Amino acid sequence: MRQFTLILFISAVCLSSSANAYVGLGVSAKSNDAWVYLPINMSDNFRIEPALRYYKDEQTDDIASRETTLFEISVGLFRKSKLTQNTGIYYGGRLGYIQEETSLSSTYSNMDFDTDGFSIAPTIGFEYFFTDNFSVGAEAEWFYRDLDGSEWNGGTQSNFDKETTGTSTRLILRFNF
């Protein structure tokens, strides 16, 4: 799955340079969760959007601490429709590869979790264009993640599967070159 997603990501970038496409750069950030987008507008009605995500969370109290690091690479395919001269909607989905590491430490034990797998996320978004090149978008997605992992507890290792579904929203600033 990792190789498939990487091939999709590279193919999208190569397609944009060979086709009559408009390439841009986008960012979306929460306090500890950053996305970087490479919107490739193949036409007025179709966008390919490779994206990279990095997430890090650390929590500590008197008894235990937890640290989680997540890296995700994805490719989105979107149909675009113009609503007015300055607004538009887009809909489609993202396919991604996820790698996550979590460490738990307490006064009683230490545990480490390593997972990787894929995500599928049907997505819809709204964009407002301040200029022909600069826009802000609001996006909502429903995601499904299927991760396989290993847990180390002291000297013992066990394997597990982790399926997650949910929703996510974000604001995205995009600049098209």
Residue in the structure block whose two tokens are 């690091």 = 69
Q: Collect all residues with Cβ–Cβ distance below 8 Å to 136 and sequence separation of at least 6.
A: 127, 128, 130, 171, 172, 173, 174
CB 45 within 8 A of CB 22: no
Per the model's pLDDT, the better-predicted residue between 8 and 44 turns out to be: 44
Instruction: Kindly report, residue by residue over 50-79, the tens digit of the pLDDT.
Output: 999 999 999 999 889 999 999 999 999 999
Could you give the domains of the chain? 2-176 (2.40.160.20)
pLDDT band at 21 (very low <50, low <70, confident <90, very high): confident
When pLDDT is averaged across residues 141-164 and rounded to a whole number, the result is 92
pTM over cut 0.85 = no
Per the model's pLDDT, the better-predicted residue between 1 and 44 turns out to be: 44
Q: Report whether pLDDT(115) > 80.
A: yes
